[in-house]
Each structure stands twice: as C-alpha cells, then as structure tokens.
Amino acid sequence: MNEHGECIGEDPTSDGLVADMVIRAEYSKYGEPKVSTLVETFNGIITLYIAVRPAIAAYSVQESGMQRAAMMSLDWKTSISTVRPF
C-alpha cells in the first residue's frame, strides 16, 4: 500500500515464467491457449489465467457466507457454451 492507503499492483510479467506464458499466448493460433484476466471487483483482485476459450461471462453469488462463482465460455463456431466453477 502507498501513503494514501491504495493497493499498488505488481506486474505479473516480472516473473520470467509468466512473461514466457504471455508471449507464447500472444502469438498462439485459434484453438491454442490464450492468457486472460478476471477482475474481481468485490475484493479488488485480478487473476491471470489460461484458457483455449476465455470466459465471456462470470457469475458470482454469495450464499450462507460462502462465495461461489462460475465462468462461461462460448465456442462461436459451434454455438456450444461451457460453464465451469472456479
């Protein structure tokens, strides 16, 4: 945190393994993994993840004090959607 109480993020690509992953994904072809981000606004957390078909929607609910979430991706060529919990 800085002097104003604000969180200061760290560049994830300062880690060599993450930087290599981002570079490989940047030039990947259709059907190969891409790097995406998920911005969680409740806690202010940004998550970097790899997916062949990145999420197009994320659903989050809170039930009995537990937070639950799922991401949905869509293969636009086949119109098949996939929902995965995370």
pLDDT surpassing 80 at residue 11: yes
* Tens digit of each residue's pLDDT (9 = 90 or more) over 62-83: 778 777 777 777 676 776 666 6
Phi, psi of 8 (to 5 degrees): -110, 120
Query: Residue 71's CB: how many other CB atoms inside 10 A?
Result: 20
Phi, psi of 19 (to 5 degrees): -60, -45
Tell me what the pLDDT averaged over the chain comes to.
79
**pLDDT category of residue 16 using cuts at 50, 70 and 90:** very high
pLDDT surpassing 80 at residue 43: no
pLDDT surpassing 80 at residue 29: yes
CA–CA gap between residue 9 and residue 47 (Å, rounded):
12
* Ranges of each domain in the chain: 12-85
* Tens digit of each residue's pLDDT (9 = 90 or more) over 51-67: 887 777 777 777 787 77
